[in-house]
Amino acid sequence: MIPSLSWKNIWRNKVRSLVVIGAMTFGIFGGLFTWAIYVGMTESRVKEALTKEVAHIQIHDLKFLDNPEIGLKLPDPAGIVRFAEGLPGVQAAADRLKIVAMINSSAASSGVNIYGIDPEKEKRVSELYTSVFDSLTLTAKLKLTDPAVIAAYLKDSTGSWFGSTQRNPVIVGETLARKLKLKINSKVVLTFQSADGNLTGGSYRVCGIYRIDNTLFEEMNVYVRKPDLATLAMLPPEQAHEVAIFMKDGKLMNTAIQSLKSEYPDLEVMSWKMLLPDVAMLSDLVEVSLVVIMIIILAALGFGIVNTMLMVVLERVKELGMLMAIGMNKTRVFTMIILESVLLCLTGAGIGMIFGAIVIEIFNKQGIDLSAFAQKGMEAWGFNAVIYTSLSWTYYLLVAMLVIITGLAASAYPAWKALKLNPADALRTE
Amino acid sequence: MNIIEINNLVKIYDDRKSVPVTAINGITLNFREGEFTTIVGPSGSGKTTLLNMLGGLDEPTSGKILIDQVDLSQLKSREVIDFRMHNIGFVFQAYNLIPVLTALENVEFIMHLQGKPKAERQQRARELLDQVGLGDRLHARPGKLSGGQQQRVAVARALASKPKFILADEPTANLDSKSAETLLDIMEKLNHNEKITFIFSTHDARVVAKAHRVITVEDGLVRSDVDYPEH
């Protein structure tokens, strides 16, 4: 009956209670939606990093990342790939050549990393190929039938993932393509130091332009066929500088890393968090800072609730005196007041969470398009300009717990004041 | 048999900020089971203070109050609350019903505090409200009841815990004459038929007229204590 009485007491002053509930609703909704935006952004960044940039794990020679010399090759890359693919949770592994080079077009030049890959194997560890649109697929996807429109799309098409029959195809990022004024079929020259220590260069044709959410990555990384690069670099075709591993179960990543380190103690085995510490830090920092933001929101709301509950106690001094007179002990009086506060908070938070969940789900599907305002800036940092909000149920649970704590904390002082009442004096109150 | 024994009761209010006030200056009284007693006196005479101490709502400065041979001053505060719940019923001047509960729920409330099962609570609450003539207003909230009806609910609530006695502090003060008469008739009937002990604090002559015993208190002392068996 005490919970029922507490609930009914909330509605004695409907306007006041609705104001408090409204404040809690908007506060929680605001907090959750902010959370969902940042979590969505972070998840999107991490996903992009894993699926299109670095994969989950990379293996190199110990000195390679500090000084990427062409001679710092991996011993038995095929064996490493086989071992890695046998580990639990691993989806696939692929070996790559990685050479620091200059890329030159008729307009400009730029420093890049050249990745020599097996295009088909690479598809198993990276989704970068999905960011290179095949022109025919694109027109089919869009169901275009007008030849003029199709021609316009083909003119602006981004080519294909090594579908060209040309000699020495290269795939470049859109940012680099704009910098070097490249289009499909444009000619570039890649210049680097080969295995024999001489400067060498080769002519390549752009067969595809990829576009991801990271303009810096687009500017720095180009992809060629491994045999083509190996020939130019005077390296045996089976050699590699890097093995990239993609996990189908991210939770087993650390276990896989331990196994690889044990098997290859002389090689550097790094997780994506070590390869991209800024992204890893972002992921951790966002979580902590958003919890702090939510606590601040609830603390601010809590002060309002303290005020409300103090008014509730002061208005009902006589009634509280009566309740104590007829035999309601202090524990029950305390519980009744605490419950009023907690139920008030949970009602507002519940509505805020439902509202928040609906809005978050809507924007999870259609996204918040900030491209008109901040596309360049966001992509410079590796973020998609369209944010897809995301929030798992554990966050809602955390918010519910914080709300209960707020309700308890906010009503503790008013409830204590109620306990201090002398029933005889309280009954005399006008 | 005495259900209440008061021995040389003294109550002095001293908040250290103003002159101490002696509300009760040495009262010795006994109350028997089945009494219908009024305590009368001018304002400030100490009758409400006396009632508060009989109800365990206030502690004496000195002296003893024994209720059914239990010395209230020896009980801890939690025990006093528990004792009140099981042994003493209250009817206040200003009804003091819980406004968000129905008449039935208000009467049930004390039995809920006592831990009685729901079916028993509801059964007894219905019977009591029937006894006070409100069998057809079980689900009405206090806001929908007249002053007299609310006070009858308060009487039913006071009876719900099967107390040893009921303390009624100016129960008719806020009622019109008809309602007051109805209420007093109900209380008188309960006293006569069920031997329920009522102790009133009142200025109301109608209450005094029905009392079997009238105790006059003035300046914290009992000035007279007269039985009226013919009432």
pLDDT (tens, 9 = 90+) of chain A, 430 residues, equals 889 999 999 999 999 999 999 999 999 999 999 989 999 999 889 999 999 999 999 999 999 989 888 989 999 999 999 999 999 999 999 999 999 999 999 989 999 999 999 999 999 999 998 888 665 555 565 666 777 766 666 665 557 888 777 789 999 998 898 899 888 888 999 999 988 888 999 999 998 888 888 889 999 999 999 999 999 999 998 999 999 999 999 999 999 999 999 999 999 999 999 999 988 888 888 888 888 888 898 889 889 899 999 998 888 888 898 888 888 888 999 999 999 999 999 999 999 999 999 999 999 999 888 877 777 777 777 787 888 998 989 889 988 999 999 999 999 999 998 888 888 888 877 6
Candidate from B81, B86, B105 with C-beta closest to A329: B81
- Residues A122, A256 share a domain: yes
- Shortest distance, CA A298 to any CA of chain B (angstroms): 29
A246: its two tokens: 């993609």
- Shortest distance, CA A325 to any CA of chain B (angstroms): 7
Which residue type, as a one-letter code, is found at position A57? Answer: I
- Residues A417, A294 share a domain: yes
Residues 6 or more apart from B186 whose CB is under 8 A from it? B131, B132, B133, B152, B155
Q: Of A265, A299, A329, which residue constitutes the final position of a domain?
A: A265
- Which residue of A lies nearest to B116 if distances are taken between CA atoms? A1
Report the pLDDT value the prediction gives residue A291, as an integer from 0 to 100: 86
A155 interfacial to chain B (CB closer than 8 Å): no
3-state class of B7 per DSSP? strand
Among residues A20, A43, A101, A126, which one has the least CA distance to residue A395?
A: A43
User: B100 and A8: CB-CB below 8 Å?
Assistant: yes
- Residues A97, A15 share a domain: no
Residues of B in contact with A326 (CB under 8 A): 84-85, 89-90, 109-110, 113, 157, 161
pLDDT tens per residue, range B112-135: 999 999 999 999 999 999 988 899
A324 interfacial to chain B (CB closer than 8 Å): yes
- Residues A342, A222 share a domain: no
Residues of A in contact with B57 (CB under 8 A): 325, 422-424, 427
- Residues A193, A157 share a domain: yes
B33: its two tokens: 């089971």
- Shortest distance, CA A328 to any CA of chain B (angstroms): 7
**Using CA atoms, how far apart are residues A379 and B8, in angstroms rounded to an integer?**
89
Q: Is there a domain that residue A11 lies in?
A: yes
Which residue type, as a one-letter code, is found at position B220? Answer: G
**Using CA atoms, how far apart are residues A413 and B2, in angstroms rounded to an integer?**
43
**Using CA atoms, how far apart are residues A301 and A305, in angstroms rounded to an integer?**
6
Report the pLDDT value the prediction gives residue A153, as an integer from 0 to 100: 60
Helix (H) or strand (E) holding A135: helix A135-141
Residues 6 or more apart from A1 whose CB is under 8 A from it? B105, B108, B109, B112
**Ordered domains of chain B (ranges, CATH):** 36-56+88-227 (3.40.50.300)
Candidate from B52, B99, B113 with C-beta closest to A328: B113
pLDDT tens per residue, range A24-83: 999 999 999 998 999 999 988 999 999 999 999 999 999 998 988 898 999 999 999 999
Candidate from A11, A319, A330 with C-beta closest to B96: A319
Number of domains, chain A: 2
- Residues A354, A285 share a domain: yes
pLDDT tens per residue, range B35-68: 999 999 888 888 888 988 898 888 889 899 999 8
Q: Of A213, A236, A265, which residue constitutes the final position of a domain?
A: A265
Residue found by looking up tokens 């400065």 in the block: B61
B109 interfacial to chain A (CB closer than 8 Å): yes
Optimal mutation site among B50, B52, B155, interface A, most CBs of chain A within 10 A:
B52
CB pairs under 8 A between A and B: 64
User: B57 and A325: CB-CB below 8 Å?
Assistant: yes
**Using CA atoms, how far apart are residues B198 and B128, in angstroms rounded to an integer?**
16
Residues 6 or more apart from A140 whose CB is under 8 A from it? none
Each residue's pLDDT expressed in tens, for chain B with a length of 231 residues: 788 999 999 998 887 777 888 889 889 999 998 899 999 988 888 888 898 889 888 888 989 999 988 888 888 888 888 898 899 999 888 868 999 999 999 999 999 999 999 999 999 999 999 988 899 999 999 999 998 899 999 999 999 988 889 999 888 888 888 888 888 888 888 888 888 899 999 888 888 888 999 999 988 889 999 888 765
| Biggest distance spanned by C-alpha atoms of chain B | 53
Among residues B52, B89, B111, which one has the least CA distance to residue B163?
A: B89
- Residues A403, A309 share a domain: yes
Q: Is there a domain that residue A123 lies in?
A: yes
Residue found by looking up tokens 């990393």 in the block: A113
Q: How many helices (H) and strands (E) does chain A have?
A: 17, 11
CB B154 within 8 A of CB B92: yes
Residues of B in contact with A318 (CB under 8 A): 94, 96
- Which residue of B lies nearest to A7 if distances are taken between CA atoms? B100
Q: Which residues pair with B6 in a beta bridge?
A: B29, B65
Q: Is there a domain that residue A246 lies in?
A: yes
- Shortest distance, CA B133 to any CA of chain A (angstroms): 22
pTM exceeding 0.80: no
- Residues A235, A291 share a domain: no
Q: Is there a domain that residue A187 lies in?
A: yes
Candidate from A11, A12, A424 with C-beta closest to B52: A424
**Using CA atoms, how far apart are residues A261 and A270, in angstroms rounded to an integer?**
9
Q: Is there a domain that residue A271 lies in?
A: no
3-state class of A420 per DSSP? coil
- Which residue of A lies nearest to B161 if distances are taken between CA atoms? A326
Residue range of the domain that includes A39: 2-48+280-428
Q: Is there a domain that residue A53 lies in?
A: no
Q: Which residues of A331-346 are buried (b: 16+ CB within 10 A; e: fewer)?
A: ebbbbbbbbbbbbbbb
Q: Is there a domain that residue A365 lies in?
A: yes
- Residues A261, A284 share a domain: no
Which residue type, as a one-letter code, is found at position A144? Answer: L
A1: its two tokens: 């009956």
| Biggest distance spanned by C-alpha atoms of chain A | 102
Report the pLDDT value the prediction gives residue A50, as an integer from 0 to 100: 92
Candidate from B92, B112, B161 with C-beta closest to A322: B92
User: B112 and A423: CB-CB below 8 Å?
Assistant: no
Residues 6 or more apart from B28 whose CB is under 8 A from it? B6, B7, B8, B9, B222
- Residues A19, A101 share a domain: no
B86 interfacial to chain A (CB closer than 8 Å): yes
B112 interfacial to chain A (CB closer than 8 Å): yes
B141 interfacial to chain A (CB closer than 8 Å): no
User: A329 and B82: CB-CB below 8 Å?
Assistant: yes
Candidate from B57, B94, B108 with C-beta closest to A424: B57
Report the pLDDT value the prediction gives residue A336, as an integer from 0 to 100: 93
Q: How many helices (H) and strands (E) does chain B have?
A: 7, 10
- Residues A214, A70 share a domain: yes
Q: Which of 331-360 (A) contact B at CB < 8 A?
A: 332
Among residues A130, A129, A222, A224, which one has the least CA distance to residue A176?
A: A222
- Which residue of B lies nearest to A330 if distances are taken between CA atoms? B78
- Residues A92, A213 share a domain: yes
Q: Of A242, A265, A288, which residue constitutes the final position of a domain?
A: A265
User: A8 and B57: CB-CB below 8 Å?
Assistant: no
Handedness of CA A333, A334, A340, A346 (dihedral sign): negative
Residues 6 or more apart from A217 whose CB is under 8 A from it? A52, A53, A173, A382
Count of beta carbons in the 10 Å neighbourhood of residue A277? 10
CB B9 within 8 A of CB B222: no
- Interface pTM, i.e. ipTM: 0.86
Which residue type, as a one-letter code, is found at position B35? Answer: E
User: A5 and B94: CB-CB below 8 Å?
Assistant: no
- Shortest distance, CA A310 to any CA of chain B (angstroms): 19
Phi, psi of A244 (to 5 degrees): -105, 135
Candidate from A1, A319, A327 with C-beta closest to B85: A327
Q: Is there a domain that residue A114 lies in?
A: yes
